[in-house]
């Protein structure tokens, strides 16, 4: 009875999800600290496990640039113009800079929580005071975000500016600010540009032009400040990274990773580059996205005549968000930080039935305990190890959330929730 209540009562269900997320992130952080500090180093000797490991490359580049080294000889992990975000940190020691970067990442996480609350208020979801702190805690202990914050990556910045993009475009109707926010997210990680497709099917052509123009200006500024060679050298990195197949564990949290590893495991494809697979799968992905756009184009285009427009927009934003991190060849599991706002919107704005709640809970569970499952599979080996090698827990989380979105869309298209207002039961 208690399990049924957890899945049917909004108050208990939301607290259950909150506890699930906190448990996953807190246990990951404790295990990481035990490995890094030494007690568990014997069973997990990987030297890459240290705080700020993803911050090391841009930090080293900032140090070299601050000493006057030629930009053309440096390695840029992100779009070269973003190095000016790191440049002042090049004057500090590594862990001093890491501490400053962590502070700013936490600040971006808090901004994300504030923006999420403002969006929910726009949808007339009444929330108690202090909920912004609960969203903040849920985010920083969401295991992909915990791992990202621990390594001082940039995914929290990306998630924050994607949320700001949604707020300024769909809530405030501010095209210029929305374009600027999506450009910032795109400069740090290329995949947020995929969201431009959502604005096209929503017929926001002015935004599209502003986005393209702003991105072009940033490119020109990057070339003028750092030179053509530095920008061309950076361009080779994402092309090589995404051009290869997802054979690495952390980069296998994608649908591509599942297909590639499964075909490899069953002997249907040899390891290494495979041109036929790459071309075929690229074509399938393009056709899939085109079909989705054709399906949604007439639905989102009728804002005034569609009483379910807000619901369709939430689902469409969620759909394109999960596709942008699950369709590339490579995607690390902490890219799932960009699903923070979609999860919040779906949980608080949509009327969920039992199947919806189960799919969301399972998706969050696989994201929250992805490293736990992966490490357990590595220790156990055997059939379980092979299964998890093919089906990365992060990829399963993506697929479960994708299944929820598609099922809800089908139900909504059939009129299962027609003429209802957005769900406003906000009891925590």
What phi, psi does 83 have (nearest 5°)? -60, -25
Query: Of residues 237 and 104, which shows the higher confidence score?
Result: 104
* 109 within 8 A of 156, measured Cβ to Cβ: yes
**Chain segment 366-419, per-residue pLDDT in tens:** 999 988 887 777 777 777 777 777 788 888 999 999 999 999 999 998 875 544
SS3 content of the chain, % helix, strand, coil (to 5): 75, 0, 25
**Chain segment 270-301, per-residue pLDDT in tens:** 665 567 777 888 888 899 999 999 999 988 87
Q: In this structure, what is the dihedral angle of CA atoms 214, 218, 220, 225, given to the nearest 10 degrees? A: 160
In the numeric block, which tokens belong to residue 9?
Answer: 């009562």
**Chain segment 56-112, per-residue pLDDT in tens:** 889 999 999 988 898 888 888 889 999 999 999 988 999 999 999 999 999 999 999
pTM: 0.91
Closest CA to 368 of 388, 400, 397, 404: 397
**Chain segment 145-179, per-residue pLDDT in tens:** 998 888 889 999 999 999 999 999 999 999 999 99
| Cβ count near 278 (within 10 Å) | 16
pLDDT band for position 426 (50/70/90)? very low
Indicate whether 241 pLDDT > 70.
no
**Chain segment 258-272, per-residue pLDDT in tens:** 887 777 777 666 665
pLDDT band for position 420 (50/70/90)? very low
* 397 within 8 A of 386, measured Cβ to Cβ: no
Mean pLDDT lowest for which of 224-228, 332-336, 361-365? 332-336
Dihedral over Cα of 47, 52, 57, 59: its sign: negative
pLDDT of residue 368: 93
Residues 6+ apart with CB under 8 A from 141: 21, 22, 24, 25, 26, 29
Span 205-223, average pLDDT: 96
Mean pLDDT lowest for which of 9-23, 270-284, 340-354, 413-427? 413-427
* 314 within 8 A of 348, measured Cβ to Cβ: no
């Amino acid at each position: 009875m208690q399990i049924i209540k957890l899945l049917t009562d909004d108050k208990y269900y939301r607290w259950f999800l909150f506890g699930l997320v906190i448990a996953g992130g807190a246990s990951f952080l404790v295990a990481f600290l035990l490995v890094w500090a030494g007690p568990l180093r014997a069973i997990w000797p990987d030297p890459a496990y240290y705080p700020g490991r993803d911050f090391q490359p841009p930090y080293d580049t900032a140090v070299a640039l601050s000493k006057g080294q030629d930009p053309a000889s440096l390695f840029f992990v992100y779009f070269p113009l973003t190095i000016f975000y790191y440049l002042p940190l090049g004057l500090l020691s590594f862990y001093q800079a890491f501490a400053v970067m962590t502070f700013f990442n936490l600040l971006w996480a808090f901004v994300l929580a504030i923006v999420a609350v403002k969006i929910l208020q726009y949808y007339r979801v009444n929330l108690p005071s202090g909920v912004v702190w609960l969203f903040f805690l849920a985010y920083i202990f969401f295991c992909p975000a915990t791992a990202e914050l621990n390594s001082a990556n940039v995914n929290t910045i990306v998630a924050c500016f994607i949320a700001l993009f949604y707020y300024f475009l769909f809530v405030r109707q501010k095209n210029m600010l929305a374009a600027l926010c999506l450009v910032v997210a795109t400069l740090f990680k290329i995949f947020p540009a995929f969201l431009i497709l959502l604005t096209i099917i929503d017929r926001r052509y002015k935004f599209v032009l502003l986005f393209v123009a702003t991105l072009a200006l940033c490119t020109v500024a990057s070339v003028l400040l750092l030179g053509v060679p530095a920008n061309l050298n950076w361009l080779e990195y994402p092309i090589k990274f995404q051009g290869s197949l997802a054979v690495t564990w952390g980069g296998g949290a994608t649908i591509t990773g599942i297909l590639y590893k499964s075909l490899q495991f069953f002997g249907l494809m040899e390891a290494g580059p495979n041109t036929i697979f790459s071309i075929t799968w690229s074509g399938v992905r393009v056709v899939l996205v085109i079909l989705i756009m054709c399906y949604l184009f007439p639905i989102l285009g009728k804002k005034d005549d569609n009483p379910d427009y807000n619901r369709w927009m939430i689902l469409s934003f969620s759909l394109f968000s999960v596709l942008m991190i699950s369709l590339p060849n490579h995607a690390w599991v902490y890219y799932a930080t960009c699903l923070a706002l979609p999860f919040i919107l779906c949980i608080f704005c949509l009327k969920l039935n039992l199947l919806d709640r189960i799919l969301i809970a399972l998706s969050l569970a696989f994201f929250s305990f992805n490293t736990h499952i992966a490490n357990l599979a590595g220790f156990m080996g055997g059939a379980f190890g092979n299964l998890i090698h093919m089906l990365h827990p992060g990829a399963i989380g993506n697929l479960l959330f994708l299944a929820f979105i598609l099922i809800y869309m089908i139900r909504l298209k059939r009129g299962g929730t027609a003429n209802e207002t957005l769900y406003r039961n906000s009891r925590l």
